[in-house]
Structures are given as C-alpha cells and as structure tokens.
Amino acid sequence: MKLINTFATELPWACEPVVPQPLREPRLLHLNRGLLAELGLEGVSDTDWLACCGLGQQLPGMQPVAQVYAGHQFGGYSPRLGDGRALLLGEQLTTDGQRWDLHLKGAGKTPFSRFGDGRAVLRSSIREYLASEALHALGIPSTRALVLVGSKEPVYREQEETGATVLRTAPSHLRFGHIEYFAWSGQGEKIPALIDYLLRYHFPEQENGAELFAEVVRRTARLIAKWQAAGFCHGVLNTDNMSLLGLTLDYGPYGFIDAYVPDFVCNHSDPDGRYALDQQPAVGYWNLQKLAQALAGHVDGDALATSLAQYEHQLMLHYSELMRAKLGLTQWEEEDPALFRQLFQLLASQGVDYHLFLRRLGEVTGKGEWPVSLLALLPDPAIWQGWLELYRVRLTREGSEDAVRKAQMDAINPKYVLRNALAQQAIDAAESGDMTPFERLLAALQQPYDEQPEYADLATPVPQWYCGGELSCSS
C-alpha cells in the first residue's frame, strides 16, 4: 500500500495539513474486508488499520489534509465551513485505474472545526457505516465505509458519549461548497483549476465546464429520484453536503420512511420541513442554482441555464421508471401519474408501511384472492379494493406473467431496509460492547433483495416500542 495525494499536491490552496489526533483506548470494531479487497488494500493488517484510524499513525504515502469549502445551510450562506472533523488521508489508485479517497471522520480538530471538538461519536459512526453500505447495496450512489473504530474517549453531544472514527471512501469528496467557497471569498481565479481537476480525474468524458455542470445536474437528478423511490430522506441537504459526483454524502439525521409519510422530516433541527422527503427534489434544484451562480463567469451562462432546465425532466423520467419497475409495470401509459397518485394517497391516509407494501405487492396474481400477507398490512382492506382492481386490470393489459413479475419486483423492492429502529438496536448493543446486532443487520442489508430467512426478524414493520423519527444533526 502506498497512497497518492493529487488533491493535496495539486490544490494545496484548497486544504490545510492536519495531523490526526489519537483516541483514548481505541478498539477495532469492524473492517469491510470485501471492499478493502476491491480497493487493493487487503494486505493492510488489522493492527495497522487500528493504528491509522484510532491512534493517528500514518500509513505509507498518507498526507492528511482538511479540505476547505463553504455552503448554503438551511438557505443561508456560511462563508467558511470545511472539514471540521474529517481528514483526507490520501488516495488509493486501484489496478484498473480508479482512484478512491480515504477520508477519516472523527480524527480531531482542524482549522475548520470552529467551536467543535472534531470528534464523531460511536452512535453517529455506526449510523454512517450502516447507511452508506445499505444505500450502496440498493444501487444508490454513495460514499462507502471501510473501517469502524470505537474508543473510551469521552465526547459531549446532548449527553456524554464515546468517540469513534469511520474511514470512508469515494472517488472524491468534492462538494458544491468547494466551488462556492472560492466564488464568494474573492478567489474566483482558482475555480478554473478546480474545474480542470474534476475534468481530468473524475469527469474524463466531459470536455469543459459546461459539460461538467450538465453531468452534475444529471447525476443529482438521478440520485434524488432514487432517494424518492427508496423512501430515503437525507435530512440536511445543505450545498456543502451535495457531492459534485452525484453521491450520497455526509450521513447525519437521515431516515428511511416506515409508514408512508410524504412530508417526513427526520431532522429535529428542521422544524419548517425544508429538507422533508417531498421537498428533496426542489431542494436539489435550488442547490444546483447556487452552484450555477458560483460557476457564472467561468462557464457560459446560457449553457448553465440550459442544463438547469433539464433537471426536472431528468428527475421525473428516472423516478417514473423506478416506480413502474417497483410496481412490476413494464410499459408507460398516460394513466401512470394517476395510478401512482392514488396509491400514494392511500398509503398516506392508511399509514401503510411503504417498503413491505411494495415487496408484498409482488405476490398479487392475475386472478384469485388478494395475498393474505398484503392484506395484513392494510388497516382497512376494503378501501383498497378499487386501486387493487385497477392494478390487476393494468397487469392483464400488459400480459404480465405472475412468476416473472414477482421475480422482477423482488429484485427492486428490498425486503431489508435500514429502519431507524433497527439502527438504534445495533447502536444500543454496540455501546454495551456487543457488536453482534450490528454484524447481523449489516449482513442483511448487504443483500437487501434476497429472502435470507435467518434474518427474517429484521424484515418486520417498525416495532411499537420505537417512537423516534427525528434525529439531531449530531447524529
């Protein structure tokens, strides 16, 4: 193993060197061995990973830096944010020519920590680890998790917790906020170098800034369409949490919906619902507008406007494709929006579990009784008869074959979803020293579409004991 450092060496004015700070009595909790092998890092020992992620010791080639960026947070501009508790350790170049950032979260104070301690807690670290791997397994672009380290380091949030680190990876952690920082800090002359860096290392198929922005729009639209179809709410869609590569980035108070709630809010710091589930498409567009404004003067204005105008179409096109697939429909019809709208109205009014409904809908056949498992989810099955009959007529019109359709629906409607209740159970156990629930949940989430009968207890509706829905930004 020997890392490279193109970001630190080519863009030194976009980062600050920082030495990681050791944790008190660190312990290695998990290694993502499969992903480490994919990145060519399987030869690094457990001892070395613990030393790197828990004791602040650098492995060959590491050149830790904290990146600087800005961002619009809840609609207001914050001129200087940056990596306040995370460090880019370096980049791993794989044998097929791909490059992957190694980014350590919870490594201690940086010049951008402001009044923070630069730490992450075990609770939030477990949540990020589980969520990033869960979304990846669902086919949703995301950063990935490599290493989880716990400790006895006291860290204070709403209460005293223990410190932890997550080593995460992605082709790049560049954000909308990187461009914004240099645009609005009087350093606009550096933006062309950022664009050139992105084109050379991450967008080789694009030739200039205009094409780059068009691709960012496309990736952002498709990412948010996938979130909406999966019932995933990010919770803090500030521009500094928006990836230029179209990845799910920075897991805080995220949440998958349980019962279908279109305006679901998972962040208790968002009382107005700016980042509610049903607001994510509009927020994505707003954030892209801010990115376009930061690029103005370096990219043709008409080209920026043309790309922005494509956002809604691209998002809705992909979302419609996903929802038709989730319903087992293979053909587009003009009645699709009405069919979807009526379904969502029923799900919301009846408080039906979104994920289990779609999974069990695959058991519907062209004739005969409705599946008992599906009816068991519905508080008042009689209210559903009209929609179910319309759905069955639609399947008949398509010539749908029951077994084929069920297999296709099972391949896109997960049986295992990272519900906050399940994450909390894993966290509670881990904080008591038991990583078994974490290991079981992670294993189930890595194959979310398979039956996996050994994990059937993780595929049930949200338990009655769980009353939490909103989390804090410190999550």
Tell me which residue has tokens 């009816």: 375
Active site residue 117: no
- Write out pLDDT tens, residues 172-227: 999 999 999 999 999 999 999 999 999 999 999 999 999 999 999 999 999 999 99
How much is the pLDDT for 115?
Answer: 84
- Provide the pLDDT for residue 462: 72
Amino acid 55: pLDDT: 97
Instruction: Identify the pLDDT of residue 475.
Output: 43
Cα torsion at 412, 418, 419, 422 (round to 10°)? 140
Residue 459 and residue 451 in contact, taking contact as beta carbons nearer than 8 Å: no
The DSSP bridge partners found for residue 92 are: 100
Cα 362 from Cα 212, distance rounded (Å): 40
Q: What is the pLDDT of residue 2?
A: 86
pLDDT at position 472, please?
57
**Alpha helices for 238-380 (secondary structure H):** 280-295, 301-309, 311-326, 336-350, 354-361, 372-375
Answer yes or no: are the C-beta atoms of 200 and 262 closer than 8 Å: no
The single residue of 101, 240, 270, 353 carrying the catalytic annotation is 240
pLDDT at residue 195, rounded to an integer: 98
Amino acid at 90: G
In the predicted model, residues of the chain with pLDDT beneath 50 are 475
Please tell me the pTM assigned to this model: 0.96
User: Quick one: tokens of 253?
Assistant: 């108070």
